[in-house]
Structure 1
Amino acid sequence: MAGEDVEDDDRTEEPSQRRLEQAIQRGDVAKSVEINTLFVLGGFALGLMILAGPLSRNLALDLRGFLMNAHQVPSDGAGMTAAFRHALGALFGALALPLGFAMLAGLAGTAIQHRLLWTFEPLTPKFERLSPMAGMKRIFGKEAIVQFVKGLAKIGIVGGVAASILWGERDRLDGMARLDPHALLATTLVLALKLLGGILAIFAFLALGDAIYQRIAWQARQRMTRRELKDEHKQEEGDPEIKGRRRQIARARLRKRMMAAVPKATVIVTNPTHYAVALRYESGMAAPVCVAKGVDALALRIRAVGAEHGVPVIENPPLARALHATVEVDAEIPVEHYKAVAEVIGYVMTLRRRAG
């Protein structure tokens, strides 16, 4: 966008709704990685809790058979490779469903933060990214420092919680070497779930704080300069000169249409020189309709055209001003003026009958 090289100090205006929508369309959204991490860990823990029993039994049976026949495994490279592949296959088969839970939970973590978007904008090459100064700014900028400090704090807090949980289970850890495979797997699952529970509790607080920070940072990133705000307002509202020209054309068309309708008017109500309102009424109409109105020069033009075509002109200053203020062209007169207009049209009809 224009203005990306503007210093942040110049971006003092809050972003408009259009600016925010354009950012979202580009894929620039307020997204917290910590929320995704929280959901992934939560999904994995949920999968382990639901499938802990079947997983431990199946894995124990598989490993028990492998350990009981360990003496038959060839000690050469091919034999060890096959044994390693077998162990990895058994482990992956046991963890496949919990990992599937984690993947679905990760997608859910993204979906709750913003609606799904399809955009290639982030993948589009941008030459300004090749600038050494831009690279230094990304590495040593404010955002990079915040992410570095946040990463250190996260490692320290999560590591401290994990160490505290494992330290409390040190006696159980010492005895795990003497357990049979089935009991060993059950104990490992219990410790894993306990460890995941503690880490999830910490990540819940980290995710909440990071989500708030990311939202504030995103709003700050979308701030605009006064010039950008002014240009956007001009684009939305249109150039004043063009708008003025459009209004002038609209007025000219309306004046032409009114002058063409004046000869069909039933009466022209004036005050007598400043206002003129031409009304048309025919049998069967619900109410008289205003076909033309104007002030000063336009009022005189309406009277002149009416006179050329024999349209009666009635001077009634209060009614002329009231009609001009309350009725639009091609609209029926308001109810409150029915009586006064009826008297005027009745008078005109009487004159026509006498003339006939």
Structure 2
Amino acid sequence: MEKTEKATPRKKQEARKKGQVAKSVDLTNSLVLIAAFSILLFLGGQIAKRLHDLFQYGLSDLLLWNVTEESIPLLFINLLKESAMIASPIVLVSWLAALAANLAQVGFLVSTESMKLDLKKLDPIAGAKRIFSVRSFVELIKSILKVVVIGGITAQLLWQQRGVFLQLPEMELLSIVSFLSSLMLKLGITISAVYLVIGAADFFYQRFDHAKKLRMSKQDIKDEYKKTEGDPLIKHKIKEKQRQVARSRMMQEVPNAQVLITNPTHFAVAIAYEAGKMNVPVVVAKGADYLALKMREIAKEHRVVIMENKPLARTLYANVEVGQEIPEELFKAVAEILAYVYRVKGTLSK
């Protein structure tokens, strides 16, 4: 079945829970590279000085150390601390850049679905389909593009410095280190910027490809709706059953009414009132057409007074629900009817 419809929010949420999100690894890597080379650009001098001091310390003071079984662990710890201090700014900034890149692309997400054993992944036919899929072809083109573009830019920058490379044998060691460090930073920043453009383009492709994978057929949407909202046919049957129960209860209340006000045939409203027990009259049942006729039959059977009052019957049916008290604006009209009923039944003194 052709999948032509966009994924529903529920389908997207389920995919997200499984860890299936649109994310570009290239975009994350490019931001990490930019962050790393940027910190080198700003703190390169301090890092170079610390490295110089570390080498000087290793080639001078450490040579005078008395190497024993107790001093070796201490020496290792000192070198480890100094190395960590040198590398920590680059590592910290790179980690923050990777975290920010992932949060910006997919938000906060923790999923263990991808860690579960899935034997379907061992299917050789499915594996072959993945290898020769459109996605694999796009990944191949993207890899070739990265190699060609980044390699071409690197070659161009190195070619521009060919004259300096020819002079390296005549330069002092510090000058050589300074030149190579500067060239490395320039190459790193330039390549990272180009890589960022490739990563951004890849991110939009990943979003497109992810949305395409999540596409649904019209039948899928119908099935999802049935799962979420329930089968419309079953819901209709439940509502019909509820209406039947409500009608049955209303019919049981008709004999307890003092009067049944009718239209005469289209509407019927049963009103109950017991002096001393109720503050105001209450609508205990109402119905239209067939239900109204049924109410008339029950009222006749139980000798409930039936009165025809078209305007009042319509107003009560339209504005008062079963179980609600009569509104204040209808007190007078209902009271007059109840007074008449009591007179008919001989409960009011003449």
TM-score over 0.5 (shorter chain) = yes
The answer (yes or no) to whether the contact 2:31–2:196 under 8 Å persists in 1 is no
Q: Say if 1:269 and 1:320, in contact at 8 Å, map to a contact too.
A: yes
Partner of 1:252: 244
Aligned counterparts, 1:77-116, within 5 A: 94-116=86-108
**What secondary structure sits across from 1:277 in the alignment?**
strand
The equivalent residue for 1:293 is 286
Alpha-carbon distance, 1:261 to partner? 3.3
Hey, what does 1:330 align to over in structure 2?
A: 323
Q: Is the 8 A contact 1:39 1:108 kept in 2?
A: no
Deviation at 1:228, TM superposition (A): 1.8
Measured in 2, the distance between the counterparts of 1:327 and 1:268 equals: 14
Gap change, CA 1:51 and 1:288, over 3 Å in 2: farther
Give the match's secondary structure for 1:112. Answer: helix
Tell me the amino acid that sits aligned with residue 24 of structure 2. S
1:34-57 alpha-carbon deviations (Å, 9 max, x no partner): 221122112212332342222111
User: Would the alpha carbon gap of residues 195 and 67 (structure 1) be closer, same or farther in structure 2, given more than 3 Å must change?
Assistant: farther
Gaps of 5+ in 2: 65-77
Match for 2:266: what amino acid? H
The residue number in structure 1 matching 2:338 is 348
Question: For each residue in 1:55-99, what CA deviation from the matched residue of structure 2 results, as whole angstroms up to 9, or x when unmatched?
Answer: 111112223455679999xxxxxxxxxxxxx99997776334302
Confirm or deny: 8 A CA contact 2:27 2:199 kept in the other structure: yes
Provide the C-alpha distance between the structure 2 equivalents of 1:140 and 1:88, rounded to a whole number of angstroms. Answer: 47
Deviation at 1:31, TM superposition (A): 0.8
Matched-pair contact (CA < 8 Å) for 1:56–1:185 = no
- Matching of residues 1-356 of structure 1 within 5 Å: 10-64=2-56, 94-174=86-166, 178-181=171-174, 184-280=176-272, 289-307=282-300, 311-331=304-324, 338-339=329-330, 342-352=332-342, 355=346, 356=348
In 2, distance between residues paired with 1:250 and 1:308?
Answer: 26
Task: State the 1:211 CA deviation.
Answer: 1.4
Shift of 1:124: 2.1
TM-score using structure 2 length: 0.80
User: Which one-letter code corresponds to 2:107 in the other structure?
Assistant: R
CA contact 1:303–1:313 (8 Å) conserved in 2: yes
Deviation, 1:280, is: 4.5
Per-residue CA deviation, residues 81-132 of structure 1 (Å, 9 max, x unaligned), is: xxxxx99997776334302321221122111111222222212222222222
The number of residues matched between the two structures is 331
Where structure 1 has 5 or more consecutive residues not aligned to the other structure, the ranges are 1-5, 73-85
CA contact (8 A) 2:26 2:198 kept: yes
Change (3 A) 1:126 1:353: same
Q: Secondary structure at the residue paired with 2:185?
A: helix
- Indicate how the Cα distance of structure 1 residues 310 and 13 shifts in structure 2: closer, same or farther if over 3 A, else same: same
Cα separation, 1, equivalents of 2:305 and 2:321: 21
Alpha-carbon distance in structure 1 between the residues aligned to 2:155 and 2:279: 88
What is the alpha-carbon distance in structure 2 between the residues aligned to residue 96 and residue 66 of structure 1? 20
**1:56–1:186 Cα contact (<8 Å) kept:** no
Greater CA drift, 260-269 or 25-34:
260-269
Q: CA deviation at 1:200?
A: 2.5
Q: CA deviation at 1:322?
A: 4.3
Determine if contact 2:280/2:326 at 8 Å carries over to the other structure: yes
2: CA distance between counterparts of 1:288 and 1:160? 92
Distance 1:287 1:41 in 2: 80
Per the alignment, residue 67 of structure 2 pairs with none
Which SS does the other structure have where 1:110 is aligned? helix
Q: Distance in 2 between matches of 1:209 and 1:189?
A: 30
Change (3 A) 1:332 1:90: same
Tell me by how many angstroms 1:326 deviates.
4.2
Name the CA shift for 1:57/1:326 in 2 (closer, same or farther; >3 Å): same
Distance 1:212 1:314 in 2: 74
**Which segment is superposed worse, 90-99 or 228-237?**
90-99
Letter in 2 for 1:244: H
Task: Please say if residues 46 and 101 of structure 1, whose CA atoms lie closer than 8 Å, have aligned partners that are also in contact.
Answer: no
RMSD: 3.4
CA distance in 2, matches of 1:44, 1:282: 86
